[in-house]
Structure 1
Amino acid sequence: MNYPCLSHFPQFLLVLSLSITSSTSYGYNETDLFSDIPEIVSATRISQNISEAPVSTTVITQELIQASGATDIPELFRLVPGFQVYTPNANKYAVTYHGASGEFPRNLDIRINGRPVYIPLLSTVAWNTLGISIDDIQRIEVVRGSNVPSYGSNALMGAINIITKTPIEQTSHQLTTTVGAQGKKDVTASFSGKANDLYYRVSLGHEGNKGFDFQKDGENVNLGNLHFIFTPSLYDSIDFTVGFNNGVMGIGSGDNLREYQDREHFSHFQYLQWNHIINETHEINTQLYHNYLRLETKSFNASELLNDPGLANLNAQLAFLAATLGSNYPFSSSHVSDFPVFSSAENGSTQTYGAEVQHTYSPNSFFTLASGLGLRYEKATSGVLLGSDSTVDEETYFFFTNAEWKQTDRLSWNAGLMSEFSSITSPATSLRLSSNYKLNDTLILRGAITQAYRTPSLLEENNKSAYIFPEGVPYDFISLPNDELEAEKLNAAELGLFWSLHELNGFIDLKIFQERISNGIDSWFYDGPIDLLSIAQGFRDEVRELRNASNRKSHGFEIQASIKPSKNDLIHFAYSLTKISGIQRRGELARKPDRTYDDSAPRHTGTLLLNHQFTNSLDSSVIFNYMSDVQWRDSSLIESYKTTDFKITKSFPTGHGQKLTTSFLVKNLFDHKYSQFQTKNSYDRRLYLTMKLNF
């Protein structure tokens, strides 16, 4: 399905905005628009005005969050050009940039207040294990493009930094409840206070729903976090955050309920940050953190899955085979015993420890240098994904530096470098060079080139999956590790134009990009070692290993616009045109042909948000979303869809310093049926009611 009106929308947006704006000049600039967040740090680790960032960046403000109609954190990224959000299961979200992803996107670095939450055991982020709710978020900074020179190899395609509300920012207590479609019942509560120089904020929550109809993929999750800020002096600030998340979520695929299972999880984190201002030119930031996650699904005995009580039939066949083949018998035993088999690969535990020190040096208003070093220790245990109950680990040491040089009033330069040294992979150094040129008071031209590397994750280096009886007899080899895996390489270039619309209190940001990924890590299939399944089938069964087997390139265009044509109106627009091509070599087996990337990213994605404030206590939003056809990795072809959401919010004063806010949200207002990732993940019209009490 085509959506031709999007191609003309930038012109329409500008004409519409001008038509509803008076001739009065408000004299605003992009800093005024983001008055509560005048600067960003995620792109270069240096505080910069959004118009002067060296790469394309989107800031999801508190105002956008409230107007968006998002009920879960990942839904907010539909506001970002080039980002796609989809659901392999009702409560399992996937977030990617420029497509080419599947159930577990792996090319984005996700952080919360600067703390990485990337899971080495899964090579992705599990969004429902973060320990925060959407009510905890103050704003989100999104770097649209490789940010390896600042954040490391996980940020190959981009980076997200979720910044939560601090005890200083939240001046009241808050209680929120949401009920609605799919049996959704969410409750969150937060409390803040102060004791001398110590500020604190406590947040607790419960999230639950039943998932899709006729599927067993609901969730039941409890979460909480505690945030302290201690300011012993004017030059020191100490942040300490702890949190947890535990619960159960349904996962699976197929047309039979037996193909779904509950996945239990338990996670917790600790994060300490100390910021010390030495003097006007020197500043030190130190971070320490620890993340823990345990995943578990139900297990079954092998005899149950083989429908062979006591494995009597299998042992009889093994005895016959051993007697027949004699010395040519390929296995270590002619008798096997029962053992537990997990129903899903999402099993195991993982921990990450990290430390980082950054020094920011700014001798004058023209030059700033942010340099530092750090280490990260990851370890994981998973009999399903790693082939044994032994622990595998990795140590990574890294050094980074980013420099900003304002050569003239019009011309500025940014350069970034990240060198990573791993205990299990080869060293990698990533570079970025960019320049901003101010054409006039409203137009800034931006150009950037990046060469970045993504080193293999702990899972990719150690992935081994097989069904092997305790006696060492293999039933089925699924995947084996590859000791020669190399880093993926990205070469990217972008040209951008930032247009400040002072009269409209906003901006338009345009981007043209080209990306090429070589040495991509993907599955390679070949005839595996002899196992029982091969003997039963009469031919060698395939086995998978990860190799540098794919290459792809993409190019396209992005636009984002945020304007406030009046004090009561907000317009946010995000659109991306992406063309992708490439090939994944999958081995020499005829039954596993090579695959192309041609349909792995939607050609068009677009979001338009319109918010109007009728009075100080009443506002409404209309949100349009569109995504064209896409073939996600290991999924069915998903046809294009468009949705319209409507949200209306009313606030009522309930007493001295108290306020009750009620929101009614209709998602997919016109009931256009559509699917995400799998055709059975079908969405129709959904209704939600949210009530929030501030006291």
Structure 2
Amino acid sequence: MPYIDSHWALKSLSAAAFLSFVSFQTAAQDELSELDYLNDIEVTFAATRLPQQLKNAPASVTIIDRAMIDASSATNITELMRLVPGLQSYHIATNASAVSYHGMSDKFPPRMEVMIDGRSVYIPLFSAVIWETLPLSIDDIARIEVVRGTNTVTQGSNAFLGAINIITHSALGHTNNLVKYTSGEFNNNTYFGRYSGAHRLGFYSLSAEVSGNDGSQFSNGEQDPYLNRHLTFNNTFSPTLFDTISLNLGMSSGYSTVGDIIRNPDLKRRDFSNHFESIEWKHATDESDLTVHYSHSYNDIDARSLTAAETGLGLVLGQALLNVNSPFKITAETGKIEQHDLEVSLRQQLNNNTKIINGISYRSASAQNRQLLDSLEWVNESSVRLFSNIEYQTNRWIYNLGLTGEKSDHNGSRVSPRIAANYQLSDSSSIRCSVSRAYRMPSLLEANYQSTIYAPAGYPLPVYDYAFTRNSNLKPEQLDSVDVGVLATWPEYSSSLDLRIFLEEISNGITENEIMSKPELAALLSGKTSKVHIMDNTSEWQNKGFELQYKYQSQNTFKPLFVLNYGYIETRGNRLLSEVTNRVDPLETRNPMHTASLLASATLPNELQISLNHYFLSSVQWIEAHRNVDVDPPNSPYHRTDLKISKKLKLSSQNELSIALIVQNLLDNPYSEFYAENMFEQRTYIQAQLSF
């Protein structure tokens, strides 16, 4: 597959250079001052780690603020992502979800970084985020910043196609205390509480939640129940006028279910127990900020062991096989994962026109899983990354040049650059062109995936089954992209429009590939021929399309809020699934061509708020849920409308009671999400919240 059309890229850069020259001659200098950051114009750090107005950022950034969160019908965090143009959020099961952006999506989307307050929650053993295990509630969130497009230069390899940063309520600025109860579908009961206070050195907050339900009842009687108990503690204090120290601690435990929901659901309970610790020191002066951030996380995801009877080989042979391969869990989606992240960055205001940030980060990841890594020992991987971004303003132009160099233990070194030029059409509107090259290092699982079932003593072959073999020559994925963005705001009309046009070329895509059959093992495998697979760079594809968001938000009468999102994407490409049979999977149907969402809300007299949410997704054949494009029919397009009605009652000057009714899929048009039998029907919830 050819890379980005060099003529197109050259023409884009030439046009930018020409317009820049013209602007030098005709436009007056348009400098930023500190006052810009005090206005109502939204400021983001997500794209570069520099404080930037959205119109100055080198990438498209969508912000989900607290008003949107309160108006939405979302009952979990992933559903909020439906309010971002081009993002795909989908339920794998009742209590398991995934979020993807422009990727070949299965239940483990690997190409988007997800952070909570800048701390990565990406799990390298599964190459994805396990959303249902996070120690986080919707009520903990102050806002969400989503970078639509590669942000490897800022957040590293995991941000290959985009990045999500979930920003929680700061102990420093949030003093409301509340308790909240939610009851509804599947016998759901959720209890949440948050308390904030002050001490001699600073401020702290403590939040806790217990959430659980019975899950869906499937056609064969299987269910997928869920429980998550989590506790988080945040503490911020300033020992001097120039120094701020933030400490975040959290833990969660519970259980969920995993397994296929295809025709005859096969679901298995999986327990989890997680904790994290994060500390950040910031030394800020008028001209620079020095930040040191360290975080540690530990995830223990477990399931019961397989029994001899469940092997289907008889009690004697089954137990002999399990003894050799112990521990052998009922699902391979388990393991212990530990991560350490240390980052030092220096942000400087060099002059009125120039800002720069430089930094270095070190990441260490370790995992233990015998079934996926073919070892009882911990498998380790570490990486070092240097990053820099400089923003230069002159007249009506803002230039951003970003560069990151990343070195991994097993995957060598790669350098990812991004150059962007933003032209200010007015004080509130701009047009942007950017060109990027990004690399995604293979995850710990992809680089070390080996699945072997050893035979018990007395068998003629030492291996009973050999499903996956490690690929020591696996290379990083590569992305070349060009995007054009327009951001227009009309403060007098409380409106804004965000448009992104993109072209992305992905090469060396990592996918599962069959490299041989094993007829010699057929006798040991009940007469079946086993196959050997490998993770290999055998896919490549192109994405092109556009996304837009129109937003109207006013504090006038009725506090109207209207957000319209639309994404269009065309995907062309292939992935090789078998070198033995030359079977190729065309990727045109692996992304939904159209995604759309609408949020409309108004607050009537007496604090009665009514919100409508509408979602649309065109047909798609999700990878894994539809393993064979020629045989498995795609998920049908769906429309879903949600209603939320909430009422606030002032009990006293400091106490307020809020009651809400949420009806998801109001029109009761059932549709399948991901797996065909995973039906989303009408769901109703009642919420009661007391603030004090």
Q: With structure 2 as the length reference, what TM-score do the two structures score?
A: 0.89
CA distance in 2 between partners of 1:507 and 1:552 (Å): 32
Q: What residue in structure 1 maps to residue 541 of structure 2?
A: 552
CA distances 1:299-347 after superposition (whole Å, capped 9, x unpaired): 11345412412129999xxxxxxxxxxxxxxxxxxx9868553211111
CA distance in 2 between partners of 1:660 and 1:397 (Å): 49
Q: What residue in structure 2 maps to residue 655 of structure 1?
A: 652
Amino acid at match of 1:369: I
- 2:460 matched to 1:457? no
CA distance in 2 between partners of 1:313 and 1:116 (Å): 40
Q: What residue in structure 1 maps to residue 25 of structure 2?
A: none
Question: Which of the numbers 299, 320, 325 marks the counterpart of 1:293?
Answer: 299
CA distance in 2 between partners of 1:621 and 1:544 (Å): 49
State how 1:592-671 maps to structure 2 within 5 Å. 593-615=583-605, 617-636=607-626, 637-671=634-668
- 2:356 matched to 1:388? no
Q: What residue in structure 2 maps to residue 6 of structure 1?
A: none
Q: What SS does structure 2 have at the residue aligned with 1:74?
A: helix
Q: What residue in structure 2 maps to residue 672 of structure 1?
A: 669
Asked whether the 8 Å contact 2:320–2:456 carries over to 1, the reply is: no
Shift in Å at residue 573 of structure 1? 1.0
Asked whether the 8 Å contact 1:89–1:252 carries over to 2, the reply is: no
Q: For the structure 1 residues 132 and 536, does the alpha-carbon distance in structure 2 shift closer, same or farther, using more than 3 Å as the test?
A: closer
Q: What residue in structure 1 maps to residue 8 of structure 2?
A: none
CA distance in 1 between partners of 2:324 and 2:242 (Å): 65
Q: For the structure 1 residues 336 and 609, does the alpha-carbon distance in structure 2 shift closer, same or farther, using more than 3 Å as the test?
A: closer
CA distance in 1 between partners of 2:104 and 2:318 (Å): 46
- 2:176 matched to 1:186? no
- 2:580 matched to 1:576? no
- 2:231 matched to 1:224? yes
Q: What residue in structure 1 maps to residue 403 of structure 2?
A: 417
Q: What residue in structure 2 maps to residue 145 of structure 1?
A: 149
CA distance in 2 between partners of 1:301 and 1:247 (Å): 23
Q: What SS does structure 2 have at the residue aligned with 1:680?
A: coil
Q: What residue in structure 2 maps to residue 96 of structure 1?
A: 100
CA distance in 2 between partners of 1:189 and 1:209 (Å): 19
Asked whether the 8 Å contact 1:33–1:505 carries over to 2, the reply is: no
Q: For the structure 1 residues 237 and 536, does the alpha-carbon distance in structure 2 shift closer, same or farther, using more than 3 Å as the test?
A: closer
Q: What residue in structure 1 maps to residue 257 of structure 2?
A: 250
Q: For the structure 1 residues 617 and 543, does the alpha-carbon distance in structure 2 shift closer, same or farther, using more than 3 Å as the test?
A: same
Q: For the structure 1 residues 209 and 689, does the alpha-carbon distance in structure 2 shift closer, same or farther, using more than 3 Å as the test?
A: same
Q: What SS does structure 1 have at the residue aligned with 2:81?
A: helix
CA distances 1:232-282 after superposition (whole Å, capped 9, x unpaired): 1221111000001110001212468772110101110000011101x3212
Asked whether the 8 Å contact 1:32–1:505 carries over to 2, the reply is: no
State how 1:439-458 maps to structure 2 within 5 Å. 439-458=425-444
CA RMSD of aligned residues (A): 2.2
Asked whether the 8 Å contact 1:91–1:217 carries over to 2, the reply is: yes
Q: What residue in structure 2 maps to residue 377 of structure 1?
A: 364
CA distance in 1 between partners of 2:96 and 2:89 (Å): 11
Identify unmatched segments of 5+ residues in structure 1. 1-30, 316-334
Q: What residue in structure 1 maps to residue 346 of structure 2?
A: 359
Amino acid at match of 2:433: G
Q: What SS does structure 2 have at the residue aligned with 1:128?
A: helix
Shift in Å at residue 473 of structure 1? 2.9
Amino acid at match of 2:472: D
CA distance in 2 between partners of 1:81 and 1:199 (Å): 36
State how 1:189-228 maps to structure 2 within 5 Å. 189-214=193-218, 215-228=222-235
Q: What SS does structure 1 have at the residue aligned with 2:69?
A: helix
- 2:484 matched to 1:484? no
CA distance in 2 between partners of 1:336 and 1:167 (Å): 51
Amino acid at match of 2:562: I
Q: What residue in structure 2 maps to residue 319 of structure 1?
A: none
Asked whether the 8 Å contact 1:311–1:338 carries over to 2, the reply is: no
Q: What SS does structure 1 have at the residue aligned with 2:677?
A: strand
State which drifts further: 445-454 or 559-568: 559-568
Shift in Å at residue 218 of structure 1? 1.8
Q: What residue in structure 1 maps to residue 418 of structure 2?
A: 432
State which drifts further: 188-197 or 212-221: 212-221
State which drifts further: 630-639 or 528-537: 528-537
Shift in Å at residue 526 of structure 1? 2.1
State how 1:1-150 maps to structure 2 within 5 Å. 38-150=42-154
CA distances 1:451-508 after superposition (whole Å, capped 9, x unpaired): 0000111111111112224658322111110000000000011011111112221210
Q: How many residues align?
A: 643
CA distance in 2 between partners of 1:221 and 1:540 (Å): 41
Q: What SS does structure 2 have at the residue aligned with 1:514?
A: strand
Question: Which of the numbers 238, 242, 245 marks the counterpart of 1:238?
Answer: 245
State which drifts further: 607-616 or 578-587: 607-616
Q: What SS does structure 2 have at the residue aligned with 1:589?
A: coil
Q: For the structure 1 residues 475 and 114, does the alpha-carbon distance in structure 2 shift closer, same or farther, using more than 3 Å as the test?
A: same
CA distance in 1 between partners of 2:253 and 2:318 (Å): 40
Q: What residue in structure 2 maps to residue 475 of structure 1?
A: 464
Q: What residue in structure 2 maps to residue 327 of structure 1?
A: none
Q: Indicate the percent of aligned positions where both proteins have the same amino acid.
A: 32
Amino acid at match of 2:568: L
Shift in Å at residue 620 of structure 1? 1.0
Shift in Å at residue 616 of structure 1? 5.8
CA distance in 1 between partners of 2:299 and 2:161 (Å): 25
Asked whether the 8 Å contact 2:612–2:643 carries over to 1, the reply is: yes
- 2:515 matched to 1:526? yes
CA distance in 1 between partners of 2:124 and 2:319 (Å): 40
Q: For the structure 1 residues 33 and 694, does the alpha-carbon distance in structure 2 shift closer, same or farther, using more than 3 Å as the test?
A: farther
CA distance in 2 between partners of 1:172 and 1:462 (Å): 47
Asked whether the 8 Å contact 1:238–1:275 carries over to 2, the reply is: yes
Q: What SS does structure 2 have at the residue aligned with 1:71?
A: coil
Shift in Å at residue 440 of structure 1? 2.8
Q: What SS does structure 1 have at the residue aligned with 2:163?
A: strand
Shift in Å at residue 32 of structure 1? 10
Identify unmatched segments of 5+ residues in structure 2. 1-34, 627-633
Amino acid at match of 2:680: Y
Q: What residue in structure 2 maps to residue 585 of structure 1?
A: 576
Q: With structure 1 as the length reference, what TM-score do the two structures score?
A: 0.89
Amino acid at match of 1:587: S
Q: For the structure 1 residues 177 and 597, does the alpha-carbon distance in structure 2 shift closer, same or farther, using more than 3 Å as the test?
A: same
Q: For the structure 1 residues 343 and 539, does the alpha-carbon distance in structure 2 shift closer, same or farther, using more than 3 Å as the test?
A: closer
CA distance in 1 between partners of 2:146 and 2:319 (Å): 57
Q: What SS does structure 1 have at the residue aligned with 2:239?
A: strand
CA distance in 2 between partners of 1:170 and 1:309 (Å): 59
Q: What SS does structure 2 have at the residue aligned with 1:310?
A: helix
Amino acid at match of 1:53: A
Q: For the structure 1 residues 257 and 222, does the alpha-carbon distance in structure 2 shift closer, same or farther, using more than 3 Å as the test?
A: farther
Shift in Å at residue 109 of structure 1? 0.4
Shift in Å at residue 442 of structure 1? 4.2
State which drifts further: 237-246 or 163-172: 163-172
CA distances 1:527-561 after superposition (whole Å, capped 9, x unpaired): 25677446446575211101100000010011011
Shift in Å at residue 679 of structure 1? 1.1
Q: For the structure 1 residues 660 and 313, does the alpha-carbon distance in structure 2 shift closer, same or farther, using more than 3 Å as the test?
A: closer
Asked whether the 8 Å contact 1:612–1:621 carries over to 2, the reply is: yes
CA distance in 2 between partners of 1:35 and 1:575 (Å): 28
State which drifts further: 597-606 or 608-617: 608-617
CA distance in 1 between partners of 2:573 and 2:339 (Å): 34
Shift in Å at residue 183 of structure 1? 1.5
Q: What SS does structure 2 have at the residue aligned with 1:269?
A: strand
CA distances 1:184-229 after superposition (whole Å, capped 9, x unpaired): 1111111110012221100111111122222421201101100000
Amino acid at match of 2:260: S
